[in-house]
Structure 1
Amino acid sequence: MKRLIKILSIGLVMLGLTSCNKDLLNLKPTNDITADEVYKDLDGYKRAFVKIYASFALTGGGGAGSGDLGGIDAGQSDFLRLYWNIQQLTSDETLCAWNDPGIPDMNFGMPASDNVMIKGLYARSIYQITLANEFLRESTEAKLNSRNIPAADREKIAQFRTEARFLRAYQYWILIDLFGNPIFVTEDNVISKNAPKQIFRADLFAYIESELLEIQNELADPKTNEYGRADKAVAWTLLAKLYLNAEVYLGKGKGKYTEAVTYAKKVIDAGYQLAPIYKNLFLIDNNVTSKSEIIFTINYDGEKSQNFGGTTFIINSLINADMNPGSYGVPSGGWGGNRAVSLLPTLFNTADKRAMFYGDKADNEEYSLFTDGLAITKFKNMSSTGTAGASHDGTFSSLDFPLMRLADVYLMYAEAILRGGTGVPQGDALIYFNKVRERAYGNTSGNLTTVSLDDILDERSRELYFEGYRRTDLIRFEKFTGSNYLWPWKGGLKEGKAIESFRTLLPIPSSEIIANPNITPNPGY
């Protein structure tokens, strides 16, 4: 099994973070163990460090019931499930048939401040930031000296610190992208009863940028770190994302497209290559077949790290019992939830090997009916050779999710050039755009001779559909709000209608506003 999963499993057991522990907001591993006991040696530091990564893939509760966020169902509080739902359900790609609390409003692109997914993702990001902050507080030179940590171990702990800073920066990017103006806490803030202060978008942008620039050279070289851990290329990819969206975060005329070009090119030059077969990116042996393309993953194991979020959620929510769940590696699964908005299949032609749809009714006459819309068969708990992955009870998934991959970097690179980025040949925009299409078609028959920004947006949907990119893309292309681009059920109408411009930001959760007098709601909410 993939090594990071083993480390996660061992680390969580040693930390007491098994599924029966319902008090995971306590930053100590258990209520009666002090920090000096936890961080007494290198093994203790590693276990605490692993917890930061583990919080991407686990929720502290093995399925139903309270998880590590307290008051939020464990199955609903997984990072990927929350982030994926917000990015996809508000977009022109995905509709969910379920009527669970918060889903209809998310389908319409109009979630309110009490939406359970809004509350969950905000809390999840803050929780993961809190874990990183705690590790950083406990791994300073002063702390290491006080615990007599040997010099030979300090280099590894320093590497853990750098990765913890990256993981914190990543979660702050989630918050700046979706919420804009969250609370802000680092390891330098004294833990007290005082409510955290709010940070505003421009200041948070500057902080994320400075952190990533400072740590980039301290991370492992590209493709040399343990599978599933951050390296230089991961930081460069996040910098490219940050810069590509700078006009959204900072305002018109404040774009940083040359910087986006620079950092996307760093990733391209690091030796990554597109995986030969597109569909293998979303099968359980993607760490082997698609290793050349995948930059950063969230790792899952259907036996050792069970969670009703992650790829277990994605795979099961995209199929129903009539679709033979066993052929997807989840013979007891198939929840019949998410499927395609009718516009998505129209982007593909028959020669495009990326089109993976099931069904015979593309229209979305009823948003609450799974079969009104084509199902997506892209993700499977199966290997490229047809072997089912590990799956406890025939429901859970062992598919690792590619959080960052090269095809996205190629398309970011092309887009940044078209938007005015300099320092590289302008013809690279078309070259790297066509590289993505050549993989999709298996030859050059799908290549374009010119490329526009609209072509980029459409190609991003064809290449990255249902991978959690779309809301951010639509906002950057100014097609998320207003009436200049409509899709079924946008705004709550079958034919679609305009939604207000303030909805490019999600609301700060109402529970946060009530609890923290330092928080000003986002405009419009």
Structure 2
Amino acid sequence: MKLTKYFISAGIAAASLMAGSCTGDLDLLPTNPNDITPGTFPSDPTLYMEKVMADVYMQMSTYGYGTSDDGNNILESMDGGMSTFQRSVFNLQEIPSDEANWIPTGDAIDENFQYGIIPSNNTVIMGAYSRMMVLVTLCNQFMQTDFGIKTDEERKLFEDFSRQARVLRGCLYFYLIDAFGNVPWANESVMTGSVAPQLSNDFAEGRRMVFEAVTADLEDVVKWYKENDPNNNPPYGYVGLDVAESILVKYYLNAEVYTGNARWQDCYTHAESVISRRAKGGFVASDGTATGLAKGYHQNFSYNNKECNEIIWRIVQESVTLNPEGGLKSYANGGFMCNAWIGDAAPDASFTCTQAEYNSGNGWKCMSARRQFVETFDWNADYTESPDLRTKWWKTAADGFNINNPSFNGQSEWGNNGFLAVKYTNWYINDNNEVVEGLSPAAVDPLGIDYAMIRLAEIYLSAAEAALNGGGDVAKALKYVNYIRERAKMDPYTTINLTELRDERCRELYTECTRRTDLIRYGKWISGYTWNWKYKVAEGTDFPANFNVYALPNVVVERNGYTQNPGY
């Protein structure tokens, strides 16, 4: 089956099954224009299961239904682009960090967000929390729906999709627990329209209990796959065993933060399991190992990344311009990751940048990188050249860009307040990491580039970190990190420590929605490391101690009687 086959023609789904306000409980707005009700499902259970499940995936790719700029957003009174799933996670992970910012003033993202000053009434917080809880609701709702199943084949499909819904729910809860801590736990036993409970009024206990509930559920799914479908290979765009086990790697990598108890051995064991299945073909290291990594690093972030096997979990994006019958209008995903950085510099500017360099039909001039992040990479004396292949598409001092960040006072300063750490392009990239213009699409807007939520490179690096923390083979840790460095054209390490590994994660995974989590895990988010304009101080300063989690949205707390996170 092909996921995108149903994205536009079948966005029926869950929104038509209930009504509500979607500001904190498990209700959704009935925004779908198609007049389809559950009563039609028994007429063709297979068709409607496929359509409803496709809608779950669609709502992770875009913001609603339709082709308007806000796509008939299923989140009431929210900016469509800003409140998509990928951008919600990106906002939480990257915008306040050293890797990015959000330059425009008076935009959907409050200008203080980039400084890390984020109160409980912030609209980005509300949009991110609401998007993820609505998606949790959609996953649960699939499992709660009576499709009028009559045959064993239909039952098997329902169970398969239900496992996928549990995997997706587990993915969503990773970001909820990470960002918001003591979040309510909603599994399929919590009916649509109900208020999901916090499992404890105590922050640490509640966060731990949700962690334990969701990881136990994911372990059950992984166990089923390994016993019944060990060679699970879901179609393009769908999730299965590898995504389930990879998200467990992320949970256990951060278990000490979330629960107070480290789970390094569990992290290493699951990472090794994923690597054993995925390390086939692709980039061949100097020791002869077929690593499973893409041969060309930037193939992961290109027009042709739909063909890239290194990507374990992807958020699907099709260009509505190139594929009007099967495209998705969305100001998120790979297109966002290209256009938000770039733009056409004025002819008389002291720096150079064009949309054409990235094969894009638009450029927003919204982001730049902070100097401390840039200096994580190796550079020559004047920051015009780096030997690190991963900076291939950056705009640097060689293009007239200022490495410093004198201020973040609007798009008029774009070009003079930081390098552009561009990773995604609309080019076809071959195995040698080279552009093939003849295989590349037109420079359109919006772009149709998938977003890589989890790559195999991250699993290698997580296995290495778990090993260095006593959970596995330290010799393998060094080998895994050197696979990553060799592909980037960097010299191998002869030894490896946690500080070097932290920086290598940054260089490999920059802007992939891991930075805030990584800095918290290493004890460098609150203090011990500063970056320009951290907490609205030019040279940076420490955050308050409670900033390791965001506030729960104040509307949600007030409406549902939840206990707010400490310090908010």
Per the normalisation by structure 1, the TM-score is 0.90
Name the CA distance, whole Å, in 1 between partners of 2:305 and 2:373.
25
Taking only aligned residues, the RMSD between alpha carbons, in angstroms, comes to 2.3
Of 60, 64, 74, which aligns to 1:60? 64
Q: Are 1:127 and 2:152 an aligned pair? A: no
Of 267, 286, 299, which aligns to 2:316? 299
Mapping of residues 136-215 of structure 1, within 5 Å: 136-138=143-145, 143=146, 147-192=148-193, 195-199=195-199, 200-215=206-221
AA aligned to 2:371 is S
Q: Are 1:401 and 2:451 an aligned pair? A: yes
Tell me how far 1:39 sits from its aligned partner. 5.2
Q: Where do 5+ consecutive residues of structure 1 fail to align?
A: none
Of 397, 405, 408, which aligns to 1:364? 405
Aligned to 1:37: 40
Name the CA distance, whole Å, in 1 between partners of 2:239 and 2:428.
25
- The structure-2 alpha-carbon separation of the partners of 1:286 and 1:32, relative to structure 1 and needing over 3 Å to count, comes to closer
Tell me how far 1:346 sits from its aligned partner. 1.7
Report if aligned partners of 2:15, 2:29 keep a CA contact under 8 Å in 1. Answer: no
Mapping of residues 102-113 of structure 1, within 5 Å: 102-113=109-120
Q: Are 1:435 and 2:458 an aligned pair? A: no
Tell me how far 1:83 sits from its aligned partner. 0.9
Aligned to 1:524: 567
Report if aligned partners of 1:86, 1:106 keep a CA contact under 8 Å in 2. Answer: no
Name the CA distance, whole Å, in 2 between partners of 1:468 and 1:390.
28
Q: Name the SS of the counterpart of 1:404 in structure 2.
A: strand
After superposition, what is the alpha-carbon deviation per residue over 1:472-500, rounded to whole angstroms, capped at 9, x for unaligned? 00000000002x21110011011001111
Report if aligned partners of 1:283, 1:379 keep a CA contact under 8 Å in 2. Answer: yes
Q: Name the SS of the counterpart of 1:55 in structure 2.
A: helix
AA aligned to 1:90 is P
Mapping of residues 444-463 of structure 1, within 5 Å: 446-463=491-508
Report if aligned partners of 2:31, 2:73 keep a CA contact under 8 Å in 1. Answer: no
Greater shift after overlay, 344-353 or 451-460? 344-353
Mapping of residues 455-494 of structure 1, within 5 Å: 455-482=500-527, 484-494=528-538
Report if aligned partners of 2:141, 2:192 keep a CA contact under 8 Å in 1. Answer: no
- The structure-2 alpha-carbon separation of the partners of 1:15 and 1:478, relative to structure 1 and needing over 3 Å to count, comes to closer
Aligned to 2:349: none
Aligned to 1:258: 265
AA aligned to 1:463 is E
Greater shift after overlay, 25-34 or 110-119? 25-34
Aligned to 1:278: 297
- The structure-2 alpha-carbon separation of the partners of 1:34 and 1:318, relative to structure 1 and needing over 3 Å to count, comes to same
Q: Name the SS of the counterpart of 1:175 in structure 2.
A: helix
Q: Are 1:502 and 2:511 an aligned pair? A: no
Aligned to 1:329: 359
AA aligned to 2:188 is E
After superposition, what is the alpha-carbon deviation per residue over 1:56-82, rounded to whole angstroms, capped at 9, x for unaligned? 101115353451111112222211111
Greater shift after overlay, 51-60 or 103-112? 103-112
Name the CA distance, whole Å, in 1 between partners of 2:97 and 2:237.
28
Tell me how far 1:53 sits from its aligned partner. 0.9
Q: Are 1:312 and 2:329 an aligned pair? A: no
Name the CA distance, whole Å, in 2 between partners of 1:506 and 1:230.
28
AA aligned to 2:263 is K
Q: Name the SS of the counterpart of 1:419 in structure 2.
A: helix
Tell me how far 1:37 sits from its aligned partner. 1.8
Q: Name the SS of the counterpart of 1:364 in structure 2.
A: coil
Aligned to 2:287: none
- The structure-2 alpha-carbon separation of the partners of 1:14 and 1:181, relative to structure 1 and needing over 3 Å to count, comes to closer
Greater shift after overlay, 87-96 or 305-314? 305-314
Q: Where do 5+ consecutive residues of structure 2 fail to align?
A: 200-205, 280-291, 321-326, 346-352, 379-385, 430-435
Name the CA distance, whole Å, in 2 between partners of 1:216 and 1:347.
36
- The structure-2 alpha-carbon separation of the partners of 1:223 and 1:401, relative to structure 1 and needing over 3 Å to count, comes to farther
Tell me how far 1:390 sits from its aligned partner. 6.4
Tell me how far 1:244 sits from its aligned partner. 0.7
Name the CA distance, whole Å, in 2 between partners of 1:39 and 1:72.
35
Q: Name the SS of the counterpart of 1:373 in structure 2.
A: coil
AA aligned to 1:346 is E
Report if aligned partners of 1:390, 1:397 keep a CA contact under 8 Å in 2. Answer: no
Q: Name the SS of the counterpart of 1:77 in structure 2.
A: coil
Tell me how far 1:373 sits from its aligned partner. 0.3
After superposition, what is the alpha-carbon deviation per residue over 1:160-191, rounded to whole angstroms, capped at 9, x for unaligned? 11001111111111111110111222221244
Name the CA distance, whole Å, in 1 between partners of 2:182 and 2:531.
28
Q: Are 1:415 and 2:465 an aligned pair? A: yes
Name the CA distance, whole Å, in 2 between partners of 1:94 and 1:313.
13
Q: Name the SS of the counterpart of 2:375 in structure 1.
A: helix
Tell me how far 1:377 sits from its aligned partner. 2.6
Q: Name the SS of the counterpart of 2:314 in structure 1.
A: strand
Aligned to 1:347: 376
- The structure-2 alpha-carbon separation of the partners of 1:416 and 1:88, relative to structure 1 and needing over 3 Å to count, comes to same
- The structure-2 alpha-carbon separation of the partners of 1:16 and 1:101, relative to structure 1 and needing over 3 Å to count, comes to closer
- The structure-2 alpha-carbon separation of the partners of 1:430 and 1:489, relative to structure 1 and needing over 3 Å to count, comes to same
Name the CA distance, whole Å, in 1 between partners of 2:318 and 2:510.
23
Q: Name the SS of the counterpart of 1:466 in structure 2.
A: coil
Aligned to 1:116: 123
Aligned to 1:92: 98
Name the CA distance, whole Å, in 2 between partners of 1:239 and 1:513.
28
Greater shift after overlay, 256-265 or 340-349? 340-349
AA aligned to 1:358 is K
Q: Percent identity?
A: 29
Q: Are 1:233 and 2:235 an aligned pair? A: no
- The structure-2 alpha-carbon separation of the partners of 1:222 and 1:351, relative to structure 1 and needing over 3 Å to count, comes to farther
Tell me how far 1:305 sits from its aligned partner. 0.4
Tell me how far 1:326 sits from its aligned partner. 2.6
Aligned to 1:7: 6
Q: Name the SS of the counterpart of 1:354 in structure 2.
A: helix
AA aligned to 2:525 is F
Report if aligned partners of 1:15, 1:30 keep a CA contact under 8 Å in 2. Answer: no
Report if aligned partners of 1:63, 1:75 keep a CA contact under 8 Å in 2. Answer: no
Tell me how far 1:30 sits from its aligned partner. 6.2
Report if aligned partners of 1:301, 1:390 keep a CA contact under 8 Å in 2. Answer: no
AA aligned to 2:185 is F
Mapping of residues 65-76 of structure 1, within 5 Å: 65=70, 67-76=73-82
Report if aligned partners of 1:178, 1:505 keep a CA contact under 8 Å in 2. Answer: yes
Aligned to 2:426: 381
- The structure-2 alpha-carbon separation of the partners of 1:407 and 1:13, relative to structure 1 and needing over 3 Å to count, comes to same
Tell me how far 1:103 sits from its aligned partner. 3.6
AA aligned to 1:374 is F
Name the CA distance, whole Å, in 2 between partners of 1:363 and 1:397.
30
Per the normalisation by structure 2, the TM-score is 0.83
Q: Name the SS of the counterpart of 2:313 in structure 1.
A: strand
After superposition, what is the alpha-carbon deviation per residue over 1:135-182, rounded to whole angstroms, capped at 9, x for unaligned? 1111xxxx46xx252222221221011001111111111111110111
Name the CA distance, whole Å, in 2 between partners of 1:401 and 1:262.
26
AA aligned to 1:7 is Y
Name the CA distance, whole Å, in 2 between partners of 1:105 and 1:14.
36
Greater shift after overlay, 115-124 or 195-204? 195-204
